[in-house]
Amino acid sequence: MCSITQGSPYYIFFSRFNKNEYDLNRNFPDAFENNSEAIQPETQAVKNWLKSETFILSANLHGGALVASYPFDNGVPETGTKRGHSITPDNDVFEYLAYTYSSRNPEMRTGNFCKNSVNFRNGITNGYTWYPLKGGMQDYNYIWAQCFEITLEVSCCKYPPAENLPNFWNNNRDSLISYMKQVHLGIKGQVFDVNKNPIPNAIVESNDRNHICPYRTNRFGEYYLLLLPGSYTINATVPGRTTILKQVTIPENMQNSSALRVDFHFPFQVKSNYNVTTRVSCSEVPLYLYFRSHSDRLKSHFIFFFLLTFVSIFHIK
């Protein structure tokens, strides 16, 4: 971050902190542990922006290394932390996105251009594997904004001089263009009622990759799912009503033109007071901690039920 202090003369200083001395990439709500830091104006502005548009794919650029890092940055045992990583339900897509970027950057793809102690295979890394962090933007975007984001470290020097900009552009131009094309990866479509009215806030996901915060349609009934070529069962659900399943096969190289369109038509009419202005999202709390505690409660209830049933059967005999 570059800050300008007004006065006579002007002072420019570089820091990873804002005016209030907060690291903004540790300031977002976290899905794995409580983040007690006060939300900063810059963070809130990003959150508001994410809610105002339907973002599908994004990247944030940093300095200090040469690597494409993908979620999760934080984690719990359920996401693989005991094995040294923390992976999303869309890990195959994230690895592909990160490699799409790194493989076209002549310095990043070497994996060790900065000559530090870390060797990044193919110039990519899982964020948690590199180092865990709480409150990062890429995890927030993926979980709560339905936007696939990776972190691009594009300079060995944390604060490189301006005269290096032409070299940065030459090294990253092809990567940036190729990465942006991936917004067409997978499928897209709309969810309609019987009168062809769009249905907002319907849940649309692939059966093999349910998100901790379900991905929903926007106010126009539109959805977007980044998926690699292959066969999938797509589940469209209007909460409280019904579900439609569709078998979908995504061909190779679709991202060079447009995502495969798959619409869903439900056999009922949307109520006139149905929410059509905002997309429903999950509470900005540590969702994975809730998931774990909820699973533990279910497990304990099951064990109790099993023991009770076993005792009853034994007693009957």
| Per annotation, catalytic residue among 37, 53, 78, 153 | 153
Tell me how far apart the alpha carbons of residues 64 and 49 are, in angstroms, rounded to a whole number. Answer: 27
How many alpha carbons fall within 13 Å on the CB side of residue 234? Answer: 29
Please say if 78 is a catalytic residue: no
Tell me how far apart the alpha carbons of residues 233 and 248 are, in angstroms, rounded to a whole number. Answer: 6
Report which of 203, 236, 230 is spatially closest to residue 218, judged by C-alpha positions.
Answer: 203
Tell me how far apart the alpha carbons of residues 89 and 92 are, in angstroms, rounded to a whole number. Answer: 8
Contacts of 136 (CB under 8 A, 6+ apart): 25, 26, 28, 30, 73, 74, 127, 151
Q: Which residues are catalytic?
A: 153
